[in-house]
Structure 1
Amino acid sequence: MRGWPMPSEHAHFITAFDVALRGGPLPPGVTGPEAERRFAVYRNNVAVGLSAALAQRFPVIRRLVGADYFAALAASFVATDRPRSPVMAEWGAGFAAFLAGFPPLAAWPWMADVARIEHARGLAFHAADAVPVRPDRLTRADPDLLRLGLHPSVIVLPLHHAGVAVWAMNQPGATPGPVPAGPQIALILRDPSWDVPVTAISPADAAMIAALPAGTLTQAARAARAVQADHNPQPLLLHLMRSGSLTDQETVP
């Protein structure tokens, strides 16, 4: 009995199989009665399954363009961007760039930013766990010595447009309104209830978050004030603490 294919043979088969899934000829070894018809059913099931997975990952995009339009978008995207891992949560990073380069959506340039938010929320939801810092560490420790880490779910996402506002207006129960002008910065994290809120933060807040893992709390506050001289770090620190997003550096995986 012949053993498993050698790595090069296996890679060739995977490539041929993917070509077949995209409408090409059947891969070598796929034979039998009605092989073409049966593989066509499988090909369709793969396309439908990937489109459904994309709709789950990008519900706001689906709501913005409508179910039928999204189905067509998904079919076009799936034809060019396939999962590279069996973990479906890792797929979809290229959808934002796909939307940005899709000419019919040129009048809605913030669409790609909304897709970036939705993909980042998926990453945050599936991020590793970490033990939050004890609240007394913030009130009793010397800020010149205190070094804090960030929960692995924390993502700071600079956007080209007001993507946070668009995403928020398309949540259940929200009231639509005009899209603000100018870019936003999104803070995305997973809170203790396993919700993944999205908050618009200032450039100074973003600078402070970026500086936290690299130095002391005092140094992070200075980094924020270098961007905005009158920056008050307390609202941001309170938000991070309440969401369980501040850690002792040594507890971060």
Structure 2
Amino acid sequence: MTSQHQFIRALTDPAQPVPVGLVSPRGTADTKRFAVYRNNVHVSLVGAIAARFPVTRQLVGEEFFTGMARLYVGQNKPRGPVLLHYGDSFPDFIGQFPPAAGLPYLPDLARLEAAWTETYNAADAAVLMAADLNTIAGDALAKLDLALAPSTRLVRSSFPVGSLWSAHQTTPVTIPALSGSECVLLTRPQAEVRLTIIPPAAFTFLKAIEQGRNLGRAAEAVLADFPDFDPGAALVGLAGLGVFAALDKEHVDV
């Protein structure tokens, strides 16, 4: 193991010895100074979790959230130097955290916040415009393979987590009734994250497309459970939200 790896392991694991070379003026291992380094790293990681899950923090309070985040950080260290995805497993951790058992909606709310940051940090890409669909003949449209834009995320919950998140974006905060399921769509049109609560049929339609089905087969999958679903109207509406990646040139004017 390299000295760099030894230093990183010691920095994130209190059970590891102080790295060779970090000594006090007396020539002994400088445990006090290294403990300061280690604490700073821990505090920084707790801060990263707090920054990524602000609504979760607001709901449970600063003391509860900090205690929960400290335990998470103690058990889960970043896998790399970039912290954009640090905390991906935090929602699952909340679901297994006994003191949070009385807040059954909390893991899904945290999943929504994790998805929000993924949408925010996703790669820039051109999106399909509703007008682009007019360039495709009707027969070809059903066979069309669409892809979701890099910034598109889908979250389904047995709780109204989209409404709950939205309520915390206004002042004063008005907490909605915590009953009823929601399907949440996250997109990033015009470089701003947009949260939209969509019908279950539209959510199923997008999941089918995400799984690789063309438009015709995706529509069939939805109509089996939602006979009133209008694929054409849904397609235009979703395209207007910036859900889909732009078409290749070969699909234009077909």
| CA-CA distance at 1:56 after TM superposition | 0.8
Q: Counterpart of 2:227?
A: 229
1:196-223 Cα offsets, whole Å, 9 max, x none, are 2223323321221123363443333332
SS at match of 1:206: helix
Find the aligned partners of 1:189 and 1:136 in 2 and give their Cα distance.
18
Distance 1:150 1:144, change over 3 A: farther
Q: Equivalent residue for 2:13?
A: 22
State the match for 2:121 in structure 1: 126
Change (3 A) 1:129 1:51: same
* Per-residue deviation, 1:235: 5.4
Unmatched runs of 5 consecutive residues or more in structure 1: 1-8
| C-alpha distance 20-130 of structure 1, shift in aligned 2 (>3 A) | closer
- 1:190-229 matches, within 5 Å, as 190-192=188-190, 194-212=191-209, 214-229=212-227
How far apart, in 2, do the equivalents of 1:239 and 1:60 lie? Answer: 28
Q: What is the alpha-carbon distance in structure 2 between the residues aligned to residue 36 and residue 15 of structure 1?
A: 15
1:20 Cα deviation after fit: 4.9
Q: 2:77 aligns with which of 82, 88, 103?
A: 82
**For residue 31 of structure 1, what is the amino acid of its counterpart?**
L
The answer to whether the 8 Å contact 2:18/2:34 transfers is: no
Instruction: Measure, in 2, the Cα distance between the counterparts of 1:195 and 1:120.
Output: 14
**Percent identity at matched positions?**
31
1:178 and 2:185 aligned: no
TM score, norm. by length of structure 2: 0.83
Deviation of 1:178 (Å):
1.4
Superposed CA deviations along residues 173-195 of structure 1, whole A, max 9, x for unmatched, are 352221123x3322122222x22
| Shift, 1:52, TM fit | 0.9
CA contact (8 A) 2:130 2:240 kept: no
Q: Secondary structure at the match of 2:224?
A: helix
Count of residues paired in the alignment: 240
Who is 2:252 aligned against? Answer: none
Deviation sequence 1:121-148 (CA, Å, 0-9, x none):
1111111222122433223422431323
Deviations 1:15-74 (A, max 9, x none): 674355332243441431171111111011101111111111000011101122211111
**TM-score, L = length of structure 1:** 0.84
SS in structure 2 at match of 1:43: helix
Aligned twin of 1:94:
89
User: Contact conserved, 1:144 with 1:216, CA < 8 A, in 2?
Assistant: no
Q: 1:250 to 1:210 in 2, by over 3 A?
A: farther
**Which residue number corresponds to residue 4 of structure 1?**
none
Alpha-carbon RMSD across the aligned residues, in angstroms, is 2.4
Distance in 2, Cα, partners of 1:143 & 1:39: 67
Aligned amino acid, residue 180 of structure 1:
S
Q: Aligned partners of 2:158, 2:9: CA distance in 1, in Å?
A: 34
Task: Write out the 4+ residue segments of structure 1 that deviate beyond 6 Å after TM superposition.
Answer: none
The Cα shift of 1:238 comes to: 3.9
Distance across 1 between alignment mates of 2:195 and 2:45: 26
Task: Map 1:139-158 to 2 at 5 A.
Answer: 139-146=134-141, 147=144, 148-158=146-156
